[in-house]
Amino acid sequence: MQGRKTIRNSLTLLTALSFLALTNVQCRHDGLNVSALKPVCFDTEIAPIFLNKCATCHGQGDNRGGLRLNDYTTILKSVIPFNAQKSKAYLAITGKGFTQLMPPDGALSENERILIRVWIDQGAKNTVCYTPPSVDTTGNGGGGSTFGGSGSQVCFQRDILPVLLSSCGTKGCHDQTTHAEGYTITSYSSVMTKLVKAGSPNTSRLYTSIANNSMPRGSIAKLTQAVKDSVYNWIKNGAIDGTCASACDTTGVVTYAKQISSLVNRNCISCHSGASAQKGILLDSYANIKTYMDNGKLMAAVKGTSIPMPQGYKITDCEMRQLELWVANGLIQN
Residue 308 and residue 100: Cα distance in Å, rounded? Answer: 52
What is the model's pLDDT at position 145? Answer: 32
Residue 329 and residue 127: Cα distance in Å, rounded? Answer: 39
Q: Which residue has the higher pLDDT, 222 or 116?
A: 116
Backbone dihedral region for residue 224 (phi beyond 0: left; psi -120 to 50: alpha; all else: beta) = beta
Kindly indicate the confidence band of residue 31, based on its pLDDT and cuts at 50, 70 and 90.
Answer: low
Task: State the average pLDDT over residues 182-190.
Answer: 89
Q: Please check whether residue 104 is in contact with residue 95, taking contact to mean a CB–CB distance below 8 angstroms.
A: no
Residue 272 and residue 282: Cα distance in Å, rounded? Answer: 5
DSSP code, position 25: H
Handedness of CA 113, 115, 116, 117 (dihedral sign): positive
Pick the closest to residue 163 from 224, 109, 205 (CA basis). Answer: 224
> With b meaning 16 or more CB within 10 Å and e meaning fewer, what string describes 292-314?
bbeeeebbebbeeeeeebbbbbe
Geometric angle at alpha carbon 282, from 276 and 288, rounded to 5°: 160
Pick the closest to residue 109 from 34, 153, 15, 45 (CA basis). Answer: 45
Kindly indicate the confidence band of residue 59, based on its pLDDT and cuts at 50, 70 and 90.
Answer: low
What is the model's pLDDT at position 246? Answer: 54
**201 CB-near residues (< 8 Å, 6+ apart):** 207, 208, 231, 232, 235, 236
The full length of the chain comes to: 334
Q: Please check whether residue 131 is in contact with residue 125, taking contact to mean a CB–CB distance below 8 angstroms.
A: no
Kindly indicate the confidence band of residue 170, based on its pLDDT and cuts at 50, 70 and 90.
Answer: confident
So where are the chain's domains?
A: 30-121, 147-236, 256-328
For all residues of the chain together, what is the average pLDDT?
77
Q: Which residue has the higher pLDDT, 34 or 321?
A: 321
Q: Kindly give the residue spans of alpha helices, DSSP state H, lying in 70-109.
A: 72-76, 88-94
